[in-house]
Chains A and B, each alone.
Chain A
Amino acid sequence: MADTLETLGEIREINASFPYTAPIRAWKEQGKKVIGFQCAYTPEEIIYAAGALPTRLTGDTRELELEDANAYMYVNTCSFIRTCLEQVLDRQYDFLDGFVSGATCDCSRRLADVWLHYEFTPFVHVLTVPRKRIDRGYELYEAEIRHFQRSLEEFFGVEITDEGLWHAIKVYNRRRELLRKLNELRKLDAPPITGAEMMEVLNASSRMPPDQFNQVLERLVEEASSRKRAVKGKFRLMVNGSALNNPDFIKAIEELGGLVVIDELCTGIRYWWEGVDPDPDPIKALCRRYLHNFPCPRMEPTEDRAQRILKISRDYRIDGVVTQMVRYCVPWTMEQPLQRMTLEEVGIPTLELDLEYGTPGTGPIRTRVQAFLEMLEARAVK
C-alpha cells in the first residue's frame, strides 16, 4: 500500500500559504480581481464569469485568538464568523476586491452588515436566499441573481455574457464531478483517501482558480482510483455539524481508529453535492442548482434534511456520526436533537461535540472521541 497520495503534496503546497495562496497571488499579479464569499449559497460561477476569482472566507488549521473580532462582533457570534473577521482585521484578506454573502444564517448576514459599515472592500453584495424551494422561491432567487449580475457588471465595468456563464458552469461542474468521483471511492471498505486528506482537498478547492484546481483534482482522482492505497479504520464515521476546515480535527478522530468516510458540512459535500443542469438560460440553471443543492439546516425543514442524511448514511455504511457544533451556531444546535433521534431510530449513534471553530480536536475532545469509539466497539461485540 502506498503511504500517501503524491498529488496531496500539491494540495498541501497550495494550502500552506492560506489565505493569500500562491495561485491567488499569481491571479492578482495578472491584474485580475478576487472576490471573497462567505456562504455556500453564493453562485461562484457568476463571479468567475465576471472575470474575477471567487475565494471562500474560512479559517485554517488552528483555532485563532479572536481578540480583534470580539471587539467588532459580540461574543455570541459564532467563532467561524469571528475567525473570518479576525483574519480580515489582521489584514490577511487585503487582497480582496469585493465580498459577497448570502442572507442565510444570522451570523453570516450580520458579518455582511459589519463588512459594509467598515468598508473592508469597495464592493459588497448580500443576496436574499429564499428558504422555500417552490416556484416563487426560484423566481425571487432569480431576480436576486440577476441583480447580483448587474451589480458586478456595473462595479467592475465588465459584461457577463451567457457564453461566459456557460464556461464557468462547465468548469465548476467538472470540479463537482471530480469531487463526486473521489467521494465514490470513499464507499470502499478501505478507501484510498482519509477524511482529513479530503478536508485538505476541499480547502484547496476555493483557494485557487477552479480550472487549475480541476487539473490537480484530475490527477488526484486518477491516483486514488489506481487502488494502490487502502486506508483502514475500525469504524466508518460521518462528520457533520457547523463549518469545519481544520483537517487536524478529523485527523485526531482517525488516529484513534475512526475512519471518516463522508461528511455533511457546508465546507464539505454541501458545497459541491449537486451540479448545474443544462437550461437554455444559464441564470435559471444556476438558480435551480443553488436552491436545490444539499441544504444547510438554516434553509430547509429538518425532516427533508434528515432523509438526505439517512440516505448518505446508508450509501457510505456509517457506523456512527460525529457532530461538531460550533458554539452559537444556532441552526445546527436547534436541529441537532431531531437529527440525533432520527439517526438513533436506525441504530446510528451520534457523538455531539460543543466546540469552537478551528479546534484541532485535542484534549477533552480526543477523550470523548475515544470513549465513543469504545462504545461502538462494545456494540460491535454484542
Chain B
Amino acid sequence: MKIDTIDTTKLDKVAEVMGGVAERRRAQGEAMYYDLLANCFRKVQRVKEEGKYLVAHTIFIPTEFLFAMDIVPFYLEGMCEIMARVHGLEESFSAAKSKGFASELCSGHRLVDAMAIQGWMPRPDAFVWSNLVCDLTTKTGDFLEKLYDRPGFYLDRPYKNTEEGMQYYIRELEELVHFLENLTGRKMDWDRLSEVMEDTRRSTEVFREICELRKAVPSPMRNQHMIEMIMTQILMSGSPELVTFYEAIRDQVKEAVEKGEGIVPEERYRLLTLFYYPAYLWKLLNAMQTEYGAVIVAEPHLSVWAEGEIDPAKPLESLARKAFALYDTGPLQPFVDRVLRQAEEYKADGTIYWAHIGCRQTCATIRIIKEVLMEKVGIPTLVIDCDLGDPTYASGESMKDKLEEFFELLDERK
C-alpha cells in the first residue's frame, strides 16, 4: 500500500478553522494559542511554494534542529488529532480500523495512521520518530515511512540515564543532524543552532518561572494553560514565538500573584493532575474552576521536560538532558519522587490521574503513585478512566460525576 494522492484541501480547512477560532477568542484575550496553532498549519500549507522541506515527527523530537535548518515541522500526534477533529473522528477511527489498527491502540496514534491512510496528511520529505515516549511512538515511523515511501530516522533514547547512555544519545542526535543534512543537501549552521537553543533556554526559564509562581495560594493560572504550554512546547521548541507565548502567560500569572488574586474567586481544592487531559474536556476543566473552585496547581508529568539544563553553547548535550528528563522512557522512581515533592511544594489537596486507556506505560503504575501519595503526603487520588482522543470511551458527564464525588471526599477530609 502506498499513498499516491494527497487531499490538500483537508489541511487548508484546518488552517482556516484554527484561524477562525483565534478570531472568535480574540475579544476574550485567548487568541494567542490558536494563532500559534493556525500558523503551524499555514507553514505546512506553504512549504512547497516556499521551497522548504517538511519533516513529520513524533512527540519530543528536537524541533530545534528543524528550525535551525529552516525545515518545517509537522508534529504527527498533535496535528493529526486536530485534523481529525475538524474532519470527523468517527470516519478517521474507521479508516485506521480498516487497515487493522486495533481499537486498543492509543487513539492519538490511530488518528495519525488514519490521516495517512486517508491521504489527508501532507506528504513530508522525511519522518523522524523515537521511543520518546512509548512503544507506539517507536513503531509509528515504520508504517508511515513505507506508506509514504519517504526516508526516516529513528532516534533511540536509552532507558537509563548513565554516562554511556548519555553518550549514546548524543551520538544519536549527531546522526539525526547528518540525516537532515543529507535530506536537504545543506550543512547544519551550528551558530544558528546556538541561537535557536537560546530561545529554548529562554522558554525553559520562563516555563520554570511560571511553575514557581503557581505555588502561590490562591492559584494564579487557568486550568487549561498547561495543556496549551505543553502542546506548543512540542510543536515549536526553539522558536521565538514560543518564548513570547510563555512570557505572555508568565506576565498574566505574575500580575495575579502580585495582586494576590486567584484564578477563581473562592479556591476550594488545589489539585495535582497526572498525564494529559483529554482535549475534548476543556469545558470540564473550566467547570472545575468556575463551578467547584477546583484549581490545578501542578502537572508533574507535563512539566518534567523542563528539568533538563539548557546551554546554548552545547546544543547536543542540552537536548540530551531534556530527553533524559522525560520519565516515560525510563525508570519510574525519579518520577515518583517528583510527584511527592510537587504535592508538598504546591500544597495539593488531592490528585487526579487521567488514565488514558491507550497509554500503557503511564497507567501501569497508577497504583504505586496513588499509594505513595496517600502514605507519604496524605492526599487521595482520583483515577478517571478516559481516552485522550476518543470522546465515546467515557462521557464528560460520568467524569463530572466522579469529580463531584471526589470533591465531596476532599470536603470531608477538611
A293 at the interface (CB under 8 A from B): no
- Per the 8 Å Cβ criterion, residues 273-316 of A in contact with B are 297-298, 301-303
Q: Is the CB of A110 within 8 A of B102?
A: no
Chain B residues lying within 8 Å of A73, measured Cβ to Cβ, are 364-365, 367
- Pick the contact of B142: A72, A112, A301 (CB < 8 A): A301
Q: Is the CB of B146 within 8 A of A338?
A: yes
Smallest CB–CB gap between A316 and chain B, Å?
24
Q: Is the CB of B101 within 8 A of A116?
A: no
A126 at the interface (CB under 8 A from B): yes
- Pick the contact of A76: B100, B131, B332, B357 (CB < 8 A): B357
B24 at the interface (CB under 8 A from A): no
Q: Is the CB of B100 within 8 A of A113?
A: no
Give Cα distance in the complex from A298 to B165, angstroms.
19
- Pick the contact of B164: A74, A111, A140 (CB < 8 A): A140
- Per the 8 Å Cβ criterion, residues 132-171 of B in contact with A are 134-136, 138-140, 142-143, 146, 154, 156, 158-160, 162, 164-165, 168, 171
Chain B residues lying within 8 Å of A88, measured Cβ to Cβ, are none
A303 in contact with B146 given A128-B158, A354-B102 (CB within 8 Å):
yes
Chain B residues lying within 8 Å of A126, measured Cβ to Cβ, are 159-160, 331
Q: Is the CB of B364 within 8 A of A132?
A: no
Q: Is the CB of A77 within 8 A of B363?
A: yes
Smallest CB–CB gap between B388 and chain A, Å?
13
A325 at the interface (CB under 8 A from B): yes
Chain A residues lying within 8 Å of B361, measured Cβ to Cβ, are 106-107, 109-110
- Per the 8 Å Cβ criterion, residues 8-50 of B in contact with A are none
Q: Is the CB of A131 within 8 A of B364?
A: no
A72 in contact with B136 given A106-B360, A338-B142 (CB within 8 Å):
no
How many A-B pairs have beta carbons closer than 8 Å: the answer is: 149
Chain A residues lying within 8 Å of B1, measured Cβ to Cβ, are 341
Range class of the A interface residue count: 35 or more
Give Cα distance in the complex from A330 to B104, angstroms.
8
Q: Is the CB of B159 within 8 A of A128?
A: yes
Give Cα distance in the complex from A105 to B140, angstroms.
14
Chain B residues lying within 8 Å of A297, measured Cβ to Cβ, are 139
A334 in contact with B158 given A72-B367, A105-B135 (CB within 8 Å):
no
- Pick the contact of A298: B138, B158, B357, B365 (CB < 8 A): B138
B236 at the interface (CB under 8 A from A): no
- Pick the contact of B360: A107, A112, A302 (CB < 8 A): A107
Chain A residues lying within 8 Å of B135, measured Cβ to Cβ, are 105-106, 298, 330-331, 334
Chain A residues lying within 8 Å of B368, measured Cβ to Cβ, are 113-114, 117
Q: Is the CB of B100 within 8 A of A335?
A: no
Smallest CB–CB gap between A232 and chain B, Å?
32
Chain B residues lying within 8 Å of A113, measured Cβ to Cβ, are 331-333, 364-365, 368
Q: Is the CB of B102 within 8 A of A74?
A: no
Chain B residues lying within 8 Å of A74, measured Cβ to Cβ, are 355, 360, 363-364, 366-367
Chain A residues lying within 8 Å of B136, measured Cβ to Cβ, are 330, 334
Q: Is the CB of A337 within 8 A of B363?
A: no
Q: Which residue of B lies closest to A339 (CB)?
A: B100
- Per the 8 Å Cβ criterion, residues 97-111 of B in contact with A are 99-102, 104-106, 109
A136 at the interface (CB under 8 A from B): yes
Q: Is the CB of B154 within 8 A of A76?
A: no
Chain B residues lying within 8 Å of A260, measured Cβ to Cβ, are none
Give Cα distance in the complex from A60 to B338, angstroms.
39
- Pick the contact of B146: A71, A109, A298, A302 (CB < 8 A): A302
A352 in contact with B100 given A107-B364, A128-B165, A139-B168 (CB within 8 Å):
yes
A76 in contact with B358 given A109-B159, A114-B364, A117-B332 (CB within 8 Å):
yes
Chain B residues lying within 8 Å of A61, measured Cβ to Cβ, are none
Q: Is the CB of B156 within 8 A of A335?
A: no
Smallest CB–CB gap between A47 and chain B, Å?
19
Q: Known pairs A76-B104, A337-B100. 13 more at Cβ < 8 A?
A: A71-B367, A76-B364, A112-B331, A113-B365, A127-B159, A128-B165, A130-B156, A132-B154, A301-B154, A303-B146, A330-B135, A330-B139, A335-B139
16 contacts between A and B (CB under 8 A): A74-B360, A74-B363, A107-B360, A111-B364, A113-B332, A116-B331, A116-B333, A126-B160, A127-B159, A298-B139, A328-B104, A335-B139, A336-B100, A337-B143, A338-B142, A352-B100
